[in-house]
């Protein structure tokens, strides 16, 4: 069963290892792989900054991914989510686009050449979902995840 748990101190090293993988870095919007020190600063902010929150995605207690929410203190009552397995997805990342579409996210924008990756401009798709839409889709998404044996029924 897939679950979310609060971040632990030892997760910082796990996340840095994942982030350092070339296949993960390929889809990240950062220009460069962060240094170990910069990653540690980000991780501490994720645990302490009231504007963001993070959880480790686990399956059978084994770390499988990370879910983050940012912009939590926004006056406009909106936040962004990101996950490693975000609301901004590289345009050629078909798997992430399909997964977020299946969860009810809609395309809200397309940013041409928005990030530089390995010196090349990459397009980014912006996705969003309203709270009212999610409340209507939540049960169907839960059933789909259960049917795929990703969460308990």
Tens-place pLDDT, residues 112-134: 998 787 788 888 888 877 778 87
Residue-wise pLDDT tens digits, 13-67: 988 888 877 767 766 766 677 889 999 999 999 999 998 889 988 877 788 788 8
- The predicted model gives 137-151 an average pLDDT of 75
In sequence order, the 6+-apart residues with CB closer than 8 A to the CB of 97 are 89, 125, 127
Whether residue 150 has pLDDT greater than 60: yes
| pLDDT classification of 84: cutoffs 50, 70, 90 | low
Whole-number pLDDT of residue 85 = 44
Q: Give the chain's domains with CATH numbers.
A: 1-85 (3.40.630.30), 86-153 (3.40.630.30)
User: Is residue 129 within 8 Å of residue 103, measured between CB atoms?
Assistant: yes
Regarding predicted confidence, which is higher, 75 or 11?
11
Whole-number pLDDT of residue 86 = 38
Whole-number pLDDT of residue 3 = 81
Distance CA 40, CA 65 (A): 17
Whole-number pLDDT of residue 134 = 77
Whole-number pLDDT of residue 88 = 64
Per-chain mean pLDDT for the chain: 80
Beta bridge partners of 5: 56
User: Is residue 91 within 8 Å of residue 124, measured between CB atoms?
Assistant: yes
Whether residue 81 has pLDDT greater than 90: no
């Amino acid at each position: 069963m897939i679950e979310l748990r609060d971040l632990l101190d030892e997760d910082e090293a796990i996340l840095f290892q994942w982030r350092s993988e070339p296949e993960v870095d390929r889809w990240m919007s950062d220009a460069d792989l962060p240094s170990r020190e910069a990653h540690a600063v980000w991780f501490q902010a994720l645990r302490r900054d009231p504007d963001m929150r993070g959880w480790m995605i686990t399956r059978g207690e084994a770390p499988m991914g990370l879910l983050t929410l940012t912009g939590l203190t926004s006056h406009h009552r909106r936040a962004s989510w990101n996950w490693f397995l975000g609301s901004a997805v590289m345009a050629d990342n078909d798997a992430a686009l399909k997964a977020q579409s299946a969860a009810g996210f809609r395309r809200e924008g397309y940013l041409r050449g928005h990030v530089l990756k390995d010196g090349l401009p990459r397009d980014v798709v912006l996705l969003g979902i309203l709270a009212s839409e999610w409340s209507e889709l939540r049960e169907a998404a839960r059933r789909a995840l259960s049917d795929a044996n990703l969460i308990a029924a």
